[in-house]
Structure 1
Amino acid sequence: MSTDLYRAFWRWHFYAGVLVLPFLAWLAVTGGLYLFKPEIERAVYGGWVTLPAPATPMAISRLIAETERQTGGKVTQVELPGTPRETWRMRVEVGGAARTAFVDPGSGAVLGTVAAGGIMKNVRDLHSLVITGPVGNALIEIAAGWAIVLVVTGLVLWWPRGANRAIALRGPTRSRRFWRDLHATTGFLAGGIVLFLAVTGMPWSVVWGAQVQRLVTAHGLGRPKAPGPQPWELENGAGHGGHGSAAAQKDALPWALQAGPRPMASGTADIGVDRALRLATGRGLTAPLTITLPAASGQPYGFSKVAARAEDGRAIYVEPSSGRVLQDAGYAGFGRGAQLIEWGIATHQGQEYGPANRWIMLAGCLALLILCVSAPILWWKRRTGDKLTLPPAPRAGARTGAAAATAAVLGVIYPLTGATMALVWLFDRLVRRQEGASGAG
């Protein structure tokens, strides 16, 4: 590789780091915490989550009535756990605010309530910056795109040449060589995981994720078509979640079913949630699962599997007036594109391959933190005197087409990242012009 091409990749690697290292550190911390959602919830809520002995649950209609009586609210969603030693969770609308109630299924007692979703919902919202609205979600998408730039350019810079070793940790801890080796070796060992996390996190994003959902659906690669000529729609909400009960309904579904139409029910009669649940479980749907109750006329009962593995994803819709199953959609019925994305999401969340999957994803988060800490230290140690400087630029007219092509491809695939790359390229032109003027002076 020529010196100029090396400098071009180095320059882009530097810009990428300056732009997104704080975001990546944020994602690493919050993502690492979310990997341990069950353990953290048990530690925080204690007896609200785990029952002292297995419980034989009451009829779900009675549990809903008891919960509404004790909370003074209206139950809109119920989460059934996978074991008889766990409490049931009910989403309750109380005075315009959503709460999660932990309910003993044997006695119907509400053991406690928290803001909807509890502490781990807060962690997830922090991870996606959904609390800041579309702007925050766009920033996360940009950060994930630039993370891909960092991995690709970092691999080029790491590639052994001359005295550079593939894996090394040389020199005293205060030396620049030590920090360079730490940064490069960590990036090499964990770069694949970081790249995987960045790519598989994109389906939740506000621009790229929405485009991909439309694309895979339009080409028969996404969710199965909903029956009936008129769908009812959930209100829009981007990222890992949105706002209100509509977002809660969406979050309970597999990714392939989150956008677009749901089956529309007819009639005003109601068979009741107990019978609707028997119909769903009679088709082989097992706990853990989420039940979404009809919020208005024309909406069905929704049953969705709380899936650990992508292959477990499934949703069933039951018409309240007749008990007719309007749709039974599962992973096997998804298109290849949706199946691949579902697999990526489950693996991203550390669920697809059991405990080992979770620890590997955690290793990626920890490695990302090391990279985020070592990068500014390395920049500080290569300063000239007391002045921090940019990596040297390629010479004017130098052949750096490989770097430009790499940037162009990534920019086209990820539009928001591409837009910011164009801005960085313009900024770099101005900086290089000033550097040239200073050199001439």
Structure 2
Amino acid sequence: MDTAALYRAVWRWHFYAGLIILPVLVWMAATGALYLYKPEIERAVYGPWTERQYTGDPIPLGEMAESVGLQAKGRVTRIARPADDTASWQMTVERADGERRTVFVDPALGLVMGNIPEGGVMKTVKELHSLIITGPVGNALVEIVAGWTILLCLTGFYLWWPRAGQKALALRGKPTGRLFWRDFHASTGAIAGAVILFLAVTGMPWSGFWGKQLQGAVSATGMGRPAAPGPAPWEHRDHHASAELPWSMQATPAPHGHGEGHIGPDQIAAIAAAHRIGPGWTMVMPSAPGAPWLVTDASPRTADTRVLYVDAASGKVLQDASWANFGGGAKAIEWGIAVHQGEQYGEPNRLVMLAGCIAILLLAASAPILWWKRRFAAPPPARDPARTRGVAAIMLALGALFPLTGATMLAALSGEWLWNKRRKRSHFAT
């Protein structure tokens, strides 16, 4: 077996994968690291608005929602009660022109302490991370980058794997030499590669194309989420409400109620308490006639997941879904998302994900230095065409799992083929 030819073929794929995705990968690592510290950043930005100013029990929810609506000049559509009694509550207010604002409320008086565009600065960070802020093209780009990152990790592991007499981790030479940077790049990737690979794989469910296909499959087969009794038409779904749901339930129709009613937020809170959903919940008001109330447990741990749908006319619980109702597939996806966001296992989880983001930045910084040390030359092609074709076939098989990434792989191979063909013609012409 010509191992040198195989090594070169894998090296070229690793090199071009990094070249293609490096800027976007750096962007995602930086914004992802910021989003891990959402609570701390919000406290730093919004200061005293995030804490209660007055002690005492909360006033009735109906009274609070009415007061907040008058103060914020709109209609309350969502109430988030934190588990921490010292923290302010957050409500979403929709104004007559359709604008949505996030309002910080002291529940003891129903006093609005401040309001910001819906979601505030961290919603912007999240949209920057997913590039959804740029529209479908940007979101597709994130999916492509995630797929290439998986390829980058797998080829990187192969290139790093210690051969006879080599150390697994080393840092040889001086910073002025190429050997130092090659060891730095390889050792960093070896240490953090599994975390980076995990981030890429678990980020895929959010993607615009592949993620929707996966979500649709989970929803259509019923293999992972609780079935909704009496589904409402799709146009009755509140997309702002679906954002509060676990990922695997966001594509499923909501249970359908029996018309408009006079059940208010106080009754809904009492029903939630009777179903053992304590402080730390989010309540979403009905968005249309026949739509139900929605209450979700805001706990970051997947095992504490609760989703409660309540009929707006009768107060009947239409659906009470807990973690036990999810199948193995949905549980795996939800668990991956929670770990990806650094929430599942507390601070150690967050630090490991942060380390993955920092490692991406270090790898991205060392890669151009390595390229510069090679005088911006690409890795030489393998002399064995069979090895080149074999590695390409493996890469395309991986690309078939993630179609948008696979399409860019085909484009890259086509571009290289055309370039080589043109170069050969130029050689023969001279």
How far 1:55 moved relative to its partner? 3.9
Structure 1 residue 275 corresponds to structure 2 residue 263 = no
- Which residue identity is paired with 1:79? A
Partner of 1:240: none
- TM-superposition CA deviations, 1:7-50 (whole Å, max 9, x none): 11111111111111111101111100111111111111111002
Q: What's the TM-score once normalised by structure 2's chain length?
A: 0.95
Partner of 1:19: 20
- Which residue identity is paired with 1:192? A
How far apart, in 2, do the equivalents of 1:234 and 1:426 lie? 46
The 1:420/1:407 distance shift into structure 2, 3 A limit, reads same
Partner of 2:184: 182
| CA contact 2:104–2:115 (8 Å) conserved in 1 | yes
Structure 1 residue 307 corresponds to structure 2 residue 299 = yes
Partner of 1:378: 370
Aligned to 1:248, which of 240, 246, 256? 240
| CA contact 2:140–2:207 (8 Å) conserved in 1 | yes
Partner of 2:211: 209
How far apart, in 1, do the equivalents of 2:311 and 2:234 lie? 13
Structure 1 residue 348 corresponds to structure 2 residue 334 = no
- TM-superposition CA deviations, 1:216-235 (whole Å, max 9, x none): 33443221111015444566
- Which residue identity is paired with 2:312? P
How far apart, in 1, do the equivalents of 2:121 and 2:347 lie? 22
Aligned to 2:409, which of 421, 425, 440? 421
How far apart, in 2, do the equivalents of 1:165 and 1:357 lie? 29
How far apart, in 1, do the equivalents of 2:427 and 2:380 lie? 13
| CA contact 1:213–1:222 (8 Å) conserved in 2 | no
Structure 1 residue 332 corresponds to structure 2 residue 324 = yes
How far 1:265 moved relative to its partner? 1.0
Structure 1 residue 170 corresponds to structure 2 residue 162 = no
| CA contact 2:9–2:387 (8 Å) conserved in 1 | no
How far 1:334 moved relative to its partner? 1.1
How far apart, in 2, do the equivalents of 1:110 and 1:89 lie? 10
User: Identity over aligned residues, as a percent?
Assistant: 50
Partner of 1:241: none
How far 1:405 moved relative to its partner? 3.6
How far 1:401 moved relative to its partner? 5.1
How far apart, in 2, do the equivalents of 1:229 and 1:217 lie? 12
Equivalent positions of 1:118-133 (< 5 A) are 118-133=120-135
The 1:229/1:83 distance shift into structure 2, 3 A limit, reads closer
| CA contact 2:5–2:387 (8 Å) conserved in 1 | yes
- Which residue identity is paired with 1:395? R
User: Which 10-residue stretch deviates more, 22-31 or 406-415?
Assistant: 406-415
SS at match of 1:225: coil
Partner of 1:411: 399
Equivalent positions of 1:35-434 (< 5 A) are 35-52=36-53, 54-94=55-95, 95-161=97-163, 164-228=166-230, 230-233=232-235, 246-383=238-375, 388-395=376-383, 397-400=385-388, 402-434=390-422
How far 1:255 moved relative to its partner? 0.6
- Which residue identity is paired with 1:413? L
- Which residue identity is paired with 1:180? R
How far 1:358 moved relative to its partner? 0.3
- TM-superposition CA deviations, 1:234-282 (whole Å, max 9, x none): 66xxxxxxxxxx4431211111111120011112322211112211221
| CA contact 2:236–2:287 (8 Å) conserved in 1 | no
How far 1:164 moved relative to its partner? 4.8
- Which residue identity is paired with 1:284? R
- TM-superposition CA deviations, 1:159-195 (whole Å, max 9, x none): 2236753211111112111111111110100000000
How far 1:121 moved relative to its partner? 0.8
The 1:89/1:148 distance shift into structure 2, 3 A limit, reads same
How far apart, in 2, do the equivalents of 1:268 and 1:52 lie? 36
- Which residue identity is paired with 2:192? A
- TM-superposition CA deviations, 1:112-165 (whole Å, max 9, x none): 001101111111111111111211111100000000010011111112236753
User: Which 10-residue stretch deviates more, 268-277 or 120-129?
Assistant: 268-277
How far apart, in 2, do the equivalents of 1:428 and 1:152 lie? 22
Partner of 2:32: 31
- Which residue identity is paired with 1:6? Y
| CA contact 1:91–1:98 (8 Å) conserved in 2 | yes
The 1:70/1:224 distance shift into structure 2, 3 A limit, reads same
How far 1:57 moved relative to its partner? 0.8
How far 1:438 moved relative to its partner? 6.2
User: Which 10-residue stretch deviates more, 429-438 or 251-260?
Assistant: 429-438
How far apart, in 2, do the equivalents of 1:176 and 1:49 lie? 50
How far 1:331 moved relative to its partner? 1.6
SS at match of 1:271: coil
How far apart, in 2, do the equivalents of 1:20 and 1:37 lie? 26
| CA contact 2:236–2:288 (8 Å) conserved in 1 | no
Any gaps of 5 or more consecutive residues in structure 1?
A: 236-245
How far apart, in 1, do the equivalents of 2:311 and 2:403 lie? 41
The 1:300/1:127 distance shift into structure 2, 3 A limit, reads same
Any gaps of 5 or more consecutive residues in structure 2?
A: none
Root mean square deviation of aligned Cα: 1.8
